[in-house]
Structures are given as structure tokens and as C-alpha cells.
Amino acid sequence: MLLSIIIPVYNCEDCLTTLYKRIIQTVNTLSGITDYEIIFVEDCGQDNSWQIIETIANQDTHIRAIQLSRNFGQHNSITAGIELCKGDWAIVLDCDLQDRPEDIANLWQKAQQGYDIVNARRQKRQDSWWRKITSSLYHIVFEWLAGLSYDPQVANFRIINRKVISAYNSMQESSRAFGAQVQWLGFTTGYIDVQHDNRYDGESTYTFRKLLLLAIEVITSYSNKPLIISIGLGLAIAFLAVIASIWLMIKSFLGIPVKEWTSLIISVWFLGGVIISNLGIVGLYIGKIYDETRKRPIYVISKKIN
């Protein structure tokens, strides 16, 4: 039974040695695992992460390492690791040590109860209040527009079996969102509650802007609800315009002076904004179609070790 542990790495040089040691200590205690591999996917950060990974990989043949040619993003890095892994089971783990490597054992034990997927559900997240608020807003908007029910306490930390790995690898769209894609696949899913630690070092690179862009990317990739909303908004405005026209006609018939230039200008501006917004939404979907037709690779590998 081969276990693959996939770790996307971006600017985490101070965490890597400790992370590696804690993973090794945990994996060596797992019953039923005959071999394992740890796949570090370095996403072309600005620190010395790759040099540290290279040193570890040259000392331990269980370590497989790849460096991407440029920064492709966390979810593309996870995709690279999953496509290259050989395990019967795969665990995805962030590199910042907020998810405890010791919980790998709990994920493995839960998976042996017959689940294809086991998600780690974070308790008492150790993030700033701003990060918690923006993350909650992201999940609320995502659930409403994408139509997928997703637990905001679940991030990337989970274990999946080879059946799920194969199904995930068959999804070749350019827009990647690991958690949402695994959720969409279905399969039998279990959960464990885990402790969420403080970051070992540094700060999260996920700003509100990045979360917003990720939400737009995922929503336009998995749902046409924004288009439906724009149609509904257009019909509602048209209905209100008809009501307003009837009201003005009635006032005219009754001999009441009609001087509505202010409201007319406001209406023109409002309708102009709605039209431009709807064109933008349509443009996003057309852009998605364009991205998919180019068939560019999801990631490009620059270096490999082991």
C-alpha cells in the first residue's frame, strides 16, 4: 500500500525542514502502509524553498520534488502533484504547518472505515479576524452562486483514494479549485475534526483580492447562475420601466404636469450600468471558453528530483 503526500510550496523556506521531520515521524507509525512518497511542488516562490527541498530530496529517496517554471498558483500546484503521484491513497497538505502533520494518522484511520474521501475540518481557526471574515464571505458567495454546498471549515487537507485521484485527473479544465472539484466528484466522504495551529512563520499570501478573483474563477467555471441573475435583473428593470411609463401616462391624461428629467437621467445611468455589468458577465464566460479552446497546460515543470 503506497501513500502519497502532496505538498504545494510557496515561500515557506522556514517551515520545510520541520514539516518534513513531522511527516516522517507520523507516516512511520501508520499500519498497513508499506511505502510512501512525499511530493513537494515548489511554485516558483521568491525565497530559498527549492534549495531546501533539493537538499532533503538528495538525502531521502522517498522525497520527489518538482519546481514549476513560474508561479501557477496553489491549486495548479496541487494538480501537478496529484497527476504525478503513484499512491493508492493521496494526502494533500499545505506547507505552513497550520494543518498538523500528526493528523495524517487520523485521516488514514478514518479512511479505513470505507470512505473514498476524508476531509479535515478545522476547529477554532487560528487566522486573523480579517482573514476569517473574507473567507466566510467567499464561501457564502461561492455556495449561493456555484450551487455547491461547501463546509468553510474544510480547506485542502484531506485524503483521497486512487478512484478519486483518477476521476480528478480526468478533469482537464484550465480553472482549478481542488476542494470544489473534489466536492463536485461526489464519492463517499467522511470528516474528522482537527486542531488548527498558528502559522509557523510569515503571513498568508491569500489577500481579499486573491480570494475574490478565485471566487469569480470558480463560480464562472462551475455555474451559469450569474447569467440567470442578469436575465432576472433585466426583466425586473423592464417591468419597473413599464409600470413607470403607465404612471406617467395616467398623470398626463389627468392633466398633471410631467417633469421627470432628473429621474430620466438617473434611469439612463442606472440602465447603462446594468447593461455594462451584464456585458461583463457575458464576457467572463466568453473568456472562459477562449481559455479552454487554447488547450494550454495547467502547469509547466522546470525541474524534477527523484
Residues 14 and 28 in one domain: yes
Three-state secondary-structure class, residue 96: coil
* Separation CA 21–CA 254 (nearest Å): 85
pTM, whole model, 2 decimals? 0.73
Summarised one tens digit per residue, pLDDT across range 22-78 is 999 999 999 888 899 999 999 888 888 999 999 999 999 999 999 999 988 888 999
- Structural domain count, the chain: 2
Residues 144 and 266 reside in one and the same domain:
no
| Same domain as 218, residue 251 | no
Residue ranges of alpha helices (H) inside 147-260 are 162-169, 178-185, 208-222, 225-253
Which pLDDT belongs to residue 257? 65
The residue range of the domain holding 301 is 2-222+297-305
Residue 70, Cβ neighbours under 10 Å: how many? 9
Taking residues 169-184, report their average pLDDT.
85
Write out the H or E segment, with its range, that includes residue 156.
Answer: strand 154-161
> Predicted confidence band at 148 (pLDDT cuts at 50, 70, 90)?
low
* CATH number, position 126: 3.90.550.10
Residue 152: closest CA among 189, 185, 123, 181: 123
pLDDT at 202 over 60: no
Mean pLDDT confidence for 158-169: 94
Residue 274 sits in the same domain as residue 174: no
Query: What pLDDT is stored for residue 135 in this prediction?
Result: 67
Q: Please tell me whether residues 112 and 229 are part of one structural domain.
A: no
pLDDT at residue 243, rounded to an integer: 77
pLDDT > 70? residue 206:
no
Q: Are residues 285 and 217 in the same domain?
A: no
Q: What pLDDT score was predicted for residue 296? A: 81
**Whether residue 82 sits in one domain with residue 56:** yes
The 10s digit of each residue's pLDDT in 291-300 is: 777 778 889 9
Cα–Cα distance between 182 and 228 in angstroms, integer? Answer: 25
What per-residue confidence (pLDDT) applies to 149?
66
The DSSP symbol for 296 reads -
